[in-house]
Chain A
Amino acid sequence: MEKMATRDAYGKALVKLGEQNSNVVVLDADLAKSTKTIEFKKKFPERFFDMGIAEQNLMGTAAGLAASGKIPFASTFAIFATGRAFEQIRNSIAYPHLNVKIAASHAGLTVGEDGASHQAIADIALMRVLPQMKVIVPADGIEAEKAVLAVAEMDGPVYIRLGRSKVPIIYAEDYQFELGKASIIKEGQDVALLACGIMVAEALKAAEELAKEGISARVINMASIKPLDKEAVVAAARDTGAVVTAEEHNIIGGLGSAVAEVLGENVPVPLERVGVSDTFGESGKPQDLLEKYGLTAKHIQEAAYRVLNRKRDV
């Protein structure tokens, strides 16, 4: 299976955007080689601003550019973008609804060897809680590119979560990303697997394993965490009566919480959340971390068994 990191797709998309729209500008905080904004820098040096190791000013400067009619993409690692500069994003970007696109890479445990200090596992929660902010977690390189191109066309703040590691390509080139729309990748009637980011590929693997046992799992990519496709969540719950969420994020505050909110208010069916269990990560190879912290297809499969048992008990 072909693989690509979502950050690489971001770098590619930025170059396309740069060619299409002269108002697109890009800011980074001394991580251009890692976030892949360097691709834009090479083509459009006059529209690229390295702000140095100063994330608060990165966000504030992006706000000022947006207030002057530019379409800034502000990039750094997810941990610094959403943590270090949280209040700048809140007060200088989200509150005045400025047209800043925060594209943060190296999210989640798969940062790997750098360890817990660099592993953003609360970024979805931090961005999701901000009024006027939209949150997108692309599942593969195709979706990342389409999402980046799509958000450049809409007004207002957006957070796009990108990863360091290569992930399997799920979508074909003609895939169209739509904000606020979930994407059903596989139909199924027994259990619904709702995933985002790198966990979508894992959910697909889990569904294959479940199918061998005669369990039909629906796999839905919830890339648009905010706005969340409530109809798709409700329909999945109604049709299957059992929901599993999977995300490379703390199970508190992220996709699992967002889905739980919708289920609780509409169709309270059994739910199991796969994610980081409210703990910090550590250094290690990405795959070793995913296994140790319970974020693989096998863990989704086990969660499916648990939720199916609970469904029978209801």
Chain B
Amino acid sequence: MEQQQEKLKEIARQIRRNIIEMLTESQSGHPGGSLSAVEILTTLYFREMKVDPANPRWSERDRFVLGKGHAAPALFATLAEKGFFPREELLTLRKINSRLQGHPDMKKLPGIDMSTGSLGQGLSAAVGMGLAGKLDNKDYRIYALLGDGEIEEGQVWEATMAAAHYKLDNLTAFVDSNGLQIDGPCTEVMSPYPIAPKFAAFGWHVEEIDGHSLEEISAAIARAKEIKDKPTVIVARTIKGKGVSFMENEVGWHGNAPSEEQAKQALAELV
């Protein structure tokens, strides 16, 4: 167990390093919300999800939908680490002719279960996947990752209502609650808080955890799997820019790439 945790921590560190290198190379992209989601993605892909990098469209696989599509660098780095495509390709992020688009493109890159990027649309697709899984009596699970800014979108609540209505206990949504959005703190821009009671009122099972604790993420997923007839939301308190001291909790690092110098400093911290 402890050995596995250490291994996961090492993978998370590597994913963070890759994010910094990708964004520095592309000089474009979203570091803050990518870094805040690393432990969630690491746990999903390296501990929980049933996937096969050699057969990315395997019909029995668990599905993942990145509602907050701008955290694509984190997802791409995770998929490369898992073996869906060569690590070297990460450095083509956001460049012309690359399979690594600014936001996930399911038609271009293996391992992407849904094209996302326009906030608020991912959870609906996850609901559709959940309905399909139920209809086919499959036991695969669907995971979605939303931002706390993202849930300001009305469509999220349409999907939240539908997931409860159709009793989609095969669906687990994370809210990466890092507290910041482009224009500033969510509390100042348009408060989505409190998040947990909102989902609870819609009929979801709710977990609230530290989104950087591998143990807490795993435990919450384990509990979600036991819940019958209800979807689960895991509200994960996170730190935007987590792991790079000068990016942590800084709004300015939502959508700016680091310079070479800043990247060096960031990588020196990520060892």
Contacts and interface: CB of A to CB of B under 8 A. Distances in A.
B118 A63 contact: no
Interface in A152-174: none
Given A49-B131, A91-B115, A95-B115, A63 B158 contact: no
Nearest to A92: B121
B252 interface: no
B135 A63 contact: no
Contacts of A61: 124-125, 127-128, 131, 159, 162
Given A57-B124, A62-B128, A67-B113, A87 B59 contact: no
A68 to B, nearest CB: 3
A95 B131 CA distance: 22
A60 interface: yes
Interface in A32-68: 46-47, 49, 51-52, 54, 56-57, 59-68
Interface in B115-144: 115-118, 120-121, 123-133, 135-136
Contacts of A92: 114-115, 118, 121, 124-125
Contacts of B133: 68
A60 B124 contact: yes
Contacts of A88: 121, 124, 155
B117 A91 contact: yes
A62 B127 CA distance: 9
Interface in B69-121: 105-107, 113-118, 120-121
B59 A54 contact: no
Contact of B135 (A47, A59, A91): A47
A25 interface: yes
A88 B156 CA distance: 12
A249 interface: no
A264 interface: no
Contacts of B197: none
B161 A67 contact: no
Given A47-B135, A52-B161, A67 B121 contact: no
Given A49-B166, A64-B114, A64-B125, A56 B158 contact: yes
Interface string A85-110: 00110011001110000000000000
Interface of B: 59, 63, 65, 105-107, 113-118, 120-121, 123-133, 135-136, 154-155, 158-159, 161-162, 165-166
Given A64-B131, A68-B136, A96-B106, 16 more contacts: A49-B166, A56-B154, A60-B121, A60-B124, A60-B125, A61-B159, A63-B114, A64-B65, A64-B129, A64-B130, A67-B129, A68-B63, A88-B155, A92-B115, A92-B125, A95-B115
Which 5 A-B pairs rank lowest in CB-CB distance, beginning with the nearest? A64-B128, A60-B124, A68-B132, A57-B158, A54-B158
